[in-house]
Amino acid sequence: MTIQEIKESYGICGLVCSLCSYNTNCSGCKCKNENCEIKACCTEKGLNYCFECDEYPCPKDMHKGMRLKAFNTVAKTEGLDKLAEYLYTNYNCGITYHRADKLTGDYDRCKTMEEVIDLLKNGKPNPYDSCPIYESKCFILRLVSLNDAANLLLCYSNPEAQAIFNSDNCTSDFCYSTLDEMKRCIEGWLDAYNKKDFVRFSIIDKQNDKAVGTVEIFGSDKNHGYSVLRIDIHPQYEKEEYLGELLCIADSFFHDFGCNRIVTKAVTKATERILALVNHGYASYPVNAEWSRENYYIKDVPAVSAQTRNLLNDKAGNTLKYGE
């Protein structure tokens, strides 16, 4: 893929045919589809592209998707050559136009046109340079803080919560009884983040603005390319509904942290957790020659090429590895 190939494949409407995964036999704008309103409009006005029109952005709102609007806006303001350069750079950094199994990609995850343009120009940020913040109906996930210690101790000192913690391969069992212990643990988590080892998010209850647990995403070559998800939460929130929200957020980790497979532990007694995992696409991962630990569940995403994996690893500082 070259910048010139991207430029030459840019469609009348703003689709980028060389990056499209829809149909290799599709002839794009060269097809005889007279039902395309955008093509008909440009043909009538003698334009090669929609963004060349003096009336763009069109008051008829022909472009329903933010991706098309964003791409055309950049092409109009900075030129098609520059747009193709942005797309080429992002393509080589693993930012997807289309994922392998669908007609959406990283640009479609943005919520506003401005976010699409920012992603287009600046690429996907390294989560270890700027920690992402996530929000669901009930929770906000943000980097853990020492200010959370007192509230988190309510979780980490609770026997019910302790019974389902996952401390596999950890230096602590996370069963704490004093504020000093909790603070030292948080300091360790923050040190690990600064070293780009893993991220611990505090789970903030939006109703009372208090930390009720933590979520960790960890991935390295030490665990054979698996990214490990840990969810520690106060028993009050150990419900399928709440855990489901957190698992929906965790789906963002595939993209933001470059995960290819996520494994997480749920002991037999954690029935609500197991229900949430199954309902969100996780499957029981049996003990085998490759995996020796019990009570784990796994979720995969479509495989990406080795080249893309390497590019993503380079962009993330080689801290996040992928399953083969």
- Do residues 87 and 167 both lie within one domain? no
68 vs 73: CA distance, rounded Å: 8
- Do residues 187 and 141 both lie within one domain? yes
Q: What is the overall mean pLDDT for the chain?
A: 84
pLDDT of residue 304: 38
- Do residues 143 and 288 both lie within one domain? yes
pTM of the model: 0.65
- Do residues 172 and 298 both lie within one domain? yes
- Do residues 110 and 21 both lie within one domain? yes
68 in a domain, yes or no?
yes
pLDDT tens-digit series, residues 175-232: 999 999 999 999 999 999 999 999 999 999 999 999 999 999 987 534 456 899 999 9
Q: Which residue has the higher pLDDT, 103 or 294?
A: 294
The answer to whether residues 88 and 8 touch, using CB atoms and an 8 Å cutoff, is no
| Residue 57 structural domain | 3-122
324 in a domain, yes or no?
no
Extract the tokens encoding 114.
Answer: 């401005």
Q: Is the pLDDT of residue 305 over 60?
A: no
179 in a domain, yes or no?
yes
Kindly state the average pLDDT of the residues 162-172.
91
- Do residues 57 and 105 both lie within one domain? yes
pLDDT tens-digit series, residues 2-49: 999 999 989 888 888 888 766 556 666 655 556 788 888 888 999 999
- Do residues 196 and 103 both lie within one domain? no
Backbone angles phi, psi at 20, to 5 degrees: -80, 140
Environment class of 101 (CB within 10 Å of its CB; exposed 0-12, middle 13-18, buried 19+): exposed
User: How many structural domains comprise the chain?
Assistant: 2
The model's confidence at residue 310, banded by pLDDT at 50, 70 and 90, is very low
Residue 257, SS3? coil
The answer to whether residues 296 and 286 touch, using CB atoms and an 8 Å cutoff, is no
pLDDT tens-digit series, residues 236-292: 999 999 999 999 999 888 878 878 889 999 999 999 999 999 999 999 998 887 788
302: domain CATH number is 3.40.630.30
